[in-house]
Each structure stands twice: as structure tokens, then as C-alpha cells.
Amino acid sequence: MKTIVRAFVIALVLTAAVASTHTSSASTTPQLAVSSWPLPQCSPAETCDNPTSLQ
């Protein structure tokens, strides 16, 4: 049990570490949070014709 939990925690931390190196701060549509709420295609920092396109 102890080993499984520790292995899971280490996997979690390593995944986060790898993911953080691939995150660009200059992203046009910044991810605000982990949620199912749909993220519009463009942020207020840019302009787009249809920010909430369904297709």
C-alpha cells in the first residue's frame, strides 16, 4: 500500500514537472482551471470572429 501510494505520488509530481516545461506563458488561450466549462477559442488579449464556435 505504502509503495503504491508513494509510486503514484512520484508519478503525479513527475508528470506535473514534465507538463510545466511544455506550458507556454505566451499562450493565446490561457487555461484558467481544470474544469468542464468550455474555454472560448480566444482570450481577451486577442480578437477573433466567433469566440464560442460550436464546430
Partner 1 sequence: MNRYIIDVLNYAELVFCLIALAALVYRKQLSNYRYLAALLSVHALTGVILMPLLLMISKRLEMHVSSHVYYHTYWYVFSLGNAIEAALGFAIIYSMFRMAMAPLKGVQSLGMLIFRWAISISLAVSFGSALLPHNITGIKFLVSLAVEMQRTQSIMTLCLLLFVCFAIHPLGLSYRSRIFGVSLGLSIKATAYLVISAWTSTYGTKHLYSANNIAGGIVTCLIFVLWTAYFIVPEPKRRIITLPTTSPFLRWNQISQVLGDEPGFVAIGGVPPELFAPAELEIMHRASRQMADNPLLQKSQSA
- Site of interaction with partner 1 (CB under 8 A): 1-2, 5-6, 9, 12-13, 15-16, 19-20, 22-25, 27-41, 43-45, 50-55
**Are the CB atoms for 35 and 21 separated by under 8 Å?**
no
Report CA-CA distances (Å) from 20 to 1, 14, 16: 29, 10, 6
Shortest Å, Cβ 34 to partner 1: 5
Smallest separation, CB 27 to partner 1 (Å): 4
Which grid coordinates belong to 49? 470572429
Q: How far is the CB of 24 from partner 1 (least distance, A)?
A: 4
